[in-house]
Amino acid sequence: MAEPDWLRPHWTRDEAKAMLLYFVFGEFAAEPQFDLSAHGSQGLPPGVEMRRIPKAALAHWDGHPLRGALGEILREGNPAAFEAARKAPECVMLRGELADADSLAYLRDTLGVVAALLDAGGVAVVDPQILEIFTADEWRARYAGAEISAARGHVLILCHDDANGGAWIKTRGMRKFARPDISIRRVPQTEVQRAGAVASQLVELGMRGMRFGEGSMVEVDGLPGGLKVTRGGSLDDPEFNNTHLELHWPKA
pLDDT digits (tens, 9 = 90+) for 227-246: 999 999 999 999 999 999 99
Both 108 and 211 in one domain: the answer is no
| Cα atoms in the Cβ-side hemisphere of radius 13 Å centred on 120 | 22
| Degrees to nearest 5, angle at CA 49 with 88 and 207 | 100
Contact 107, 6 (CB under 8 A): yes
Both 172 and 214 in one domain: the answer is yes
| Degrees to nearest 5, angle at CA 21 with 30 and 48 | 70
Contact 153, 143 (CB under 8 A): yes
- How many domains would you assign to the chain? 2
Q: Count of CB atoms within 10 A of residue 215's CB? A: 9
Burial of 29 per CB tally in 10 Å (0-12, 13-18, 19+):
exposed
The reply to whether 1 falls in a domain is no
The reply to whether 52 falls in a domain is yes
**Domain final residue pick, 130, 149, 168:** 149
pLDDT of residue 165: 79
The reply to whether 200 falls in a domain is yes
Both 32 and 50 in one domain: the answer is yes
DSSP state for residue 212 in the 8-state scheme: -
How many whole angstroms separate alpha carbon 71 and alpha carbon 128?
10
The reply to whether 101 falls in a domain is yes
The reply to whether 162 falls in a domain is yes
Helix, coil or strand: residue 126: strand
* pLDDT < 70 positions in the chain: 1
Both 58 and 119 in one domain: the answer is yes
Which candidate, 199, 204, 201, 115, places its Cα nearest to that of 154?
Answer: 204
Which candidate, 132, 128, 94, 100, places its Cα nearest to that of 113?
Answer: 94
The reply to whether 3 falls in a domain is no
**Domain final residue pick, 149, 179, 196:** 149
Cα 120 to Cα 50, 57, 66, 68, 75: the distances in Å are 15, 21, 22, 28, 24
The reply to whether 171 falls in a domain is yes
Both 57 and 95 in one domain: the answer is yes
Both 139 and 29 in one domain: the answer is yes
How many whole angstroms separate alpha carbon 101 and alpha carbon 28?
32
Both 140 and 168 in one domain: the answer is no
Both 198 and 215 in one domain: the answer is yes
| 92-140 pLDDT tens trace | 999 999 999 999 999 999 999 999 999 999 999 999 999 999 999 999 9
Domain membership of residue 222 as a residue range: 153-248
The reply to whether 110 falls in a domain is yes
**Domain final residue pick, 99, 128, 149:** 149
How many whole angstroms separate alpha carbon 77 and alpha carbon 86?
14
Both 138 and 160 in one domain: the answer is no
Both 158 and 92 in one domain: the answer is no
